[in-house]
């Protein structure tokens, strides 16, 4: 694949052309075989399978992290969960490569322990939180959220964490704080993708303070009752279920409170394509494709029907008020 220009946006640009996973993985395996040539082929295929198998070994490999059932409105859906296998091997985490299978293959180098998160900017109580302290800051809950990617696919994942609001209240934002910026790790030594020019590293995301305070915005430490696998953003990530998946920053190292709207990594890379708000909105097309439907990972078959994408990803009753009176075509 040619090195992508940082202005071309996501590397799987036309959702209607996104290949079902099984077909796509088979094709990848085939390409690997072809690229490696006869002698290297077996080795390459073996190495790929070995790394994936290592990433998927469970249970027991990752520590248990159970959460009490959440009482937050909208935090649980009865929809079928995506399999752990799919959720942990079909990922976007460009610091480990742009292929969906790259994070599971490469993220074993991440080292999520020791880890700390720096809270800074417009707050009364700035400080550095060791991950152990952050984990204990509030009771862990299980939240079963749909997460929809801007590329046109979605998953249903049982996350474990607590509302980001719990942390925000403890650090006491000043009256002048209007936004929260999330900066994630960018370490060339641990993250092979950080050497590429796909994005201007580090990966940065942001929320308006009232969005960040919404109880559905989750600071997640685990999924499926275990601590997060590296490829899903260990040891701490955001999950903002009413926004396209790229707002859910992985492997956070800094949380900064600001007066100005943060410049996010994807907006910087392609401002016409990725706005600050990035609310899931079937009525606002991405400039290069429709956002009206989505494919649920795990319902792959070649002729699987697409689902209609719901306003705010189905969380309109809970979050619609945050955007009352805003022109969502302008603030996309
Ligand atoms: N966070 C970082 N640091 N780097 C990334 O490339 N990708 C985003 C988001 N968070 C990304 C990131 C995108 S595009 C998506 S869809 C989700 O992570 C995917 O999360 P998942 O792999 O757990 O499904």
Token pair 């942001």 in the structure block, residue: 206
The whole-angstrom separation of Cα 186 and Cα 195 is 10
Say yes or no: CB of residue 291 within 6 Å of ligand 1. no
Domains in the chain, please, with CATH?
57-323 (3.90.420.10)
Which 8-state DSSP code applies to residue 268?
Answer: H
Say yes or no: CB of residue 230 within 6 Å of ligand 1. no
* Mean pLDDT, the chain, whole residue set: 88
Of 26-35, 114-123, 165-174, 238-247, least confident by mean pLDDT is 26-35
Say yes or no: CB of residue 251 within 6 Å of ligand 1. yes
pLDDT level of residue 30 (50, 70, 90 thresholds): very low
What stretch of H or E contains 211?
Answer: helix 209-212
> Distance, CA 101 to ligand 1 centroid (Å)?
13
Of 29-43, 183-197, 208-222, least confident by mean pLDDT is 29-43
Of 29-38, 72-81, 120-129, 182-191, least confident by mean pLDDT is 29-38
Q: Is 142 in a helix, a strand, or coil? A: strand
Cβ neighbours around 146 below 10 Å, total? 21
Q: Could you tell me if 267 and 275 are in contact, meaning their C-beta atoms sit under 8 angstroms apart?
A: yes
pLDDT of 1 higher than 80 = no
Supply the pLDDT for residue 300. 75
Atom of ligand 1 nearest to the CA of 266: 14
Report residue 117 CA to chain centroid gap.
18
Q: Is 316 in a helix, a strand, or coil? A: helix
Cβ neighbours around 292 below 10 Å, total? 14
Supply the pLDDT for residue 60. 55
Q: Which residue's alpha carbon is at the smallest distance from atom 10 of ligand 1?
A: 249
> Distance, CA 95 to ligand 1 centroid (Å)?
10
pLDDT tens column, 94-134: 999 999 999 999 999 999 999 999 999 999 999 999 999 99
Q: What are 182-185's contacts with CB under 8 Å, separation 24+?
A: 182/206, 182/207, 182/238, 182/249, 182/252, 182/254, 182/255, 183/252, 183/253, 183/254, 183/255, 183/256, 184/95, 184/249, 184/250, 184/251, 184/252, 184/253, 185/95, 185/110, 185/251, 185/252, 185/253
Q: Alpha carbon of 295 to those of 103, 130, 172, 250, 279: distances in Å?
A: 21, 38, 40, 23, 18
pLDDT level of residue 305 (50, 70, 90 thresholds): confident
Supply the pLDDT for residue 32. 40
Atom of ligand 1 nearest to the CA of 87: 24
145: tokens are 């959220």
**Mean pLDDT score, 263-269:** 98
The whole-angstrom separation of Cα 63 and Cα 244 is 29
pLDDT of 294 higher than 90 = yes
pLDDT of 57 higher than 70 = no
pLDDT of 45 higher than 50 = no
107: tokens are 């993220």
46: tokens are 């073996």
Q: Is 95 in a helix, a strand, or coil? A: helix
């Amino acid at each position: 694949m040619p090195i992508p220009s940082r202005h071309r946006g996501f590397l799987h640009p036309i959702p209607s052309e996104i290949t079902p996973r099984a077909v796509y993985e088979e094709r990848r395996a085939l390409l690997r075989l072809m690229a490696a040539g006869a002698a290297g082929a077996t080795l390459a295929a073996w190495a790929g399978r070995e790394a994936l198998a290592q990433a998927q070994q469970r249970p027991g490999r990752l520590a248990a992290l159970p959460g009490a059932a959440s009482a937050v409105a909208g935090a649980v859906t009865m929809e079928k969960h995506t399999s752990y296998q799919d959720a942990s091997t079909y990922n976007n985490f460009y610091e480990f490569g742009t292929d969906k299978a790259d994070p599971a293959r490469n993220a074993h180098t991440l080292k999520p322990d020791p880890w700390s998160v720096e809270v800074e900017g417009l707050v009364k109580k700035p400080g550095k939180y060791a991950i152990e302290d952050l984990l204990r800051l509030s009771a862990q809950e299980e939240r079963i959220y749909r997460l929809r990617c801007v590329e046109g696919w979605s998953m249903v994942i049982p996350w474990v964490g607590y509302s980001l609001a719990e942390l925000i209240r403890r650090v006491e934002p000043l009256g002048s704080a209007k936004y929260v910026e999330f900066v994630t790790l960018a370490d060339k030594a641990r993250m092979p993708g950080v050497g590429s020019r796909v994005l201007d590293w580090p990966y940065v995301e942001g929320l308006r303070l009232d969005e960040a305070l919404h109880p559905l915005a989750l600071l997640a430490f685990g999924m499926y009752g275990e601590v997060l696998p590296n490829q899903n953003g260990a040891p701490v990530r955001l999950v903002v279920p009413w926004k396209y998946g790229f707002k859910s920053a992985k492997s956070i190292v800094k949380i900064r409170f600001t007066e100005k709207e943060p410049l996010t990594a994807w907006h910087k890379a392609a401002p016409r394509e990725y706005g600050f708000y990035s609310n899931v909105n079937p009525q606002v097309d991405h400039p290069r494709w429709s956002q009206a439907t989505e494919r649920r990972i795990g319902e792959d078959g070649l002729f699987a029907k697409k689902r209609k994408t719901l306003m705010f990803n189905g969380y309109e009753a809970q979050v619609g008020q945050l955007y009352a009176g805003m022109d969502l075509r302008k603030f996309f």
